[in-house]
Structure 1
Amino acid sequence: MPRIPPPVLALGAGALQVLLSHSRHSSPGSRFLAGLLVPICLALDFSSIRAFGRQQTTINPIRLDSVSELVTDSANALTRNPMYLSLAGLLIAHALWRRSALALLPAAGFVLLLDKVQIPAEEAALAKAFGQRYGQYQRQVPRWISGRTIQRLMAG
């Protein structure tokens, strides 16, 4: 069964958020909260994409056989899935912007789908390609984000 690229899934989740919260409108407070989250998500995403570019390896999550390097620096030192965490954060920011708890459901569904389908396939491919090196990375860096990681970020 062909997988759908996670950015396409995120766009679908965002569209579903709009449908679920069509009567909701932003407020200054909701725009402020979303505005805090969006630049963090974008920085996380761009940092990881740059790291992949420096290593000259693919960011294509569908072509798992084309990975040539294990990227463990930059945002990938904080979370094994910074691009997915970024997309999830943008969906949460969108729900905040719309002031809709119901709009959080597609964000949760997106995370669940990635966590149960996409990421395990990627982890299996990376374990096959990089063996013990990837296992060590898995033990050191959380799949999503941990409280310890958040503390490190807050400490600067």
Structure 2
Amino acid sequence: MKIPPLLLVLLLGALMYVISLFTPSVVVHPVLRFTAAAVIFITGSGISLSGVLAFRRSKTSVNPLSPDKASSLVETGIYRISRNPMYVGFLMMLLAWSIALANLYTLPACVVFFWYINRFQIPEEERALKAMFQQSYTAYTRRVRRWL
């Protein structure tokens, strides 16, 4: 059973919180820490949201568990910069949470997210998109990087 990416973010975020309760924190001035976390979180949220909005404008499926339901290949907006802006945004949100918690032991959760998405989510999406959009998708993958 595959874990939906948003659920994975929430589970990892909860795990990060629990880890922070039992491991030492890094001493960082709260204003600096929360400002950095807020900037990264807001940026990540904006990147993810712009990906969702681009899909909505193109009237295609946003469901990452059903890439075969895509009705069009979105190559505009944020998708000119990243093939997976929603995942970039989610990763940034997890990083922001780690910074807000001021705990280095929470950073591996970001690595777990990156690994899981690269191993289980993106390859299936790419296979489906390549099967549906063939040469267009292949050309797109040559122009735009998977993450950034």
Structure 1 length as normaliser, TM-score? 0.88
Alignment correspondent of 1:111:
114
Query: Could you list the runs of 5+ residues in structure 2 that have no partner in the other structure?
Result: none
1:49 to 33, 52, 59: 52
Alignment correspondent of 1:17:
16
Other structure's SS at 1:112 match: helix
Post-superposition offset of 1:93:
0.3
Moved more, 102-111 or 18-27: 18-27
Moved more, 21-30 or 40-49: 21-30
Other structure's SS at 2:75 match: coil
Other structure's SS at 2:105 match: coil
**Residue by residue, what CA displacement relative to the aligned partner does 1:26-64 show, whole Å, maximum 9, x if unpaired?**
722110111111121111111111110111001101112
Could you tell me which amino acid in structure 1 is paired with residue 126 of structure 2? E
Alignment correspondent of 2:66:
63
Post-superposition offset of 1:92:
0.2
Other structure's SS at 2:139 match: helix
Deviating above 2 A after TM superposition, structure 1's stretches of 4 or more consecutive aligned residues are 23-26
Could you tell me which amino acid in structure 2 is paired with residue 4 of structure 1? I
Alignment correspondent of 1:76:
79
Identity %: 31
Could you tell me which amino acid in structure 2 is paired with residue 74 of structure 1? G
2: distance between equivalents of 1:59 and 1:97? 29
Moved more, 20-29 or 99-108: 20-29
2: distance between equivalents of 1:111 and 1:142? 15
1:110-129 aligned at under 5 Å gives the runs 110-129=113-132
Alignment correspondent of 1:154:
none
1: distance between equivalents of 2:67 and 2:46? 24
Aligned-residue Cα RMSD (Å) equals 1.3
Post-superposition offset of 1:116:
1.1
User: How many pairs were matched up?
Assistant: 144
Other structure's SS at 1:72 match: coil
Moved more, 82-91 or 14-23: 14-23
Alignment correspondent of 1:152:
none
Structure 2 length as normaliser, TM-score? 0.93
1: distance between equivalents of 2:57 and 2:35? 34
